[in-house]
Every structure is written in structure tokens, then in C-alpha cells.
Amino acid sequence: MSGHYTPLLISLGVVSCAVAVVLAHLIGATDDEGLPLHIFAGLPVYLAWLLREIVMSNIATGKIILFGKARPTLFTATATQRTAAGIATYANSITLTPGTVTIEMDANSDDGHDFLVHALDQSFADDVESGQMDRRVTALEGGGST
């Protein structure tokens, strides 16, 4: 952050990072979920798909706002992801898509999670309930295909 990039400062920074990682590992502060490296292979495809969904939802939300045809609804979406990172990715993907907001999460009895979702219009709810986003996040986490 100082703007000084001498070999000494860079090497001390690398050594400091390495020592911090080793110490974190020794005290058991690292786990399999810390940085799930296996998702990086599918991440660009998922992010491209999510960006497309965000743009399409923005257009649909704009039409609803301009023409005043909102039909708000609350519904439940079930998450099939196995990891905390997958569940968080799914909940955040729903919220990132305009017109939908993940309000609450409950663990259901089938070892999954249910999200209470608010949608600006029933068409947004139908999109989430189709399960396409859930399947894509599950595939991203390593549990299936898109």
C-alpha cells in the first residue's frame, strides 16, 4: 500500500502470508470450505449465465415499474446444495436477480434448506421455482450438471 515495491518488501510480504497460512493450519482454522478451489472451473460459465439473468430481470422489473403491473408474492424455494458456500451462493443469486429477495432461510427436515423469497411479480417467482438456478448452483458446487 506504500507504493514501494522492492524485492525485500515483496519477499517479506510473501513470507508473512506463508507464515500466517501455516499458523492457521496448525491451529485448525482452515477447512474444506475456506476456499473451494473446485468451483473455479465452472465459475465463468455460471457468472455469465447469472449476468444474463440479471439483465433480463432488470428489463422485466423496469417494465413492471413503468406500467404498474406488480403482483407481489411470497413463496418458498428449496435449496439442494450440500455446502454452506453453495447455499449462500444460491440465496445470494436469488437476491442479486432484480425482482426477487431472499428473506429468510430455514433448515428443513430433509437435510436441505428452504428460503422464503419475496418476488415483485409471479413471473419472477415462476423463474426461481423452475429450479434452473438451483440446479446450476448445485452443479457449480460439484453436485450435478447444468
pLDDT at residue 146 in the model: 47
For each successive 10 residues of the chain (146 residues), what is the average pLDDT? 87 96 84 69 92 95 90 93 87 94 83 89 93 93 61
Enumerate the H helices of the chain as residue ranges: 7-26, 43-67, 84-96, 122-129, 132-141
What CATH number does domain 37-141 carry, 3.10.450, 3.30.310, 1.10.10, 1.10.3300? 3.30.310
Domain spans of the chain, in order of start: 1-30, 37-141
CA distance 103 to 48: 25
**Cβ(33)–Cβ(85) under 8 Å?**
yes
pTM passes above 0.85? no
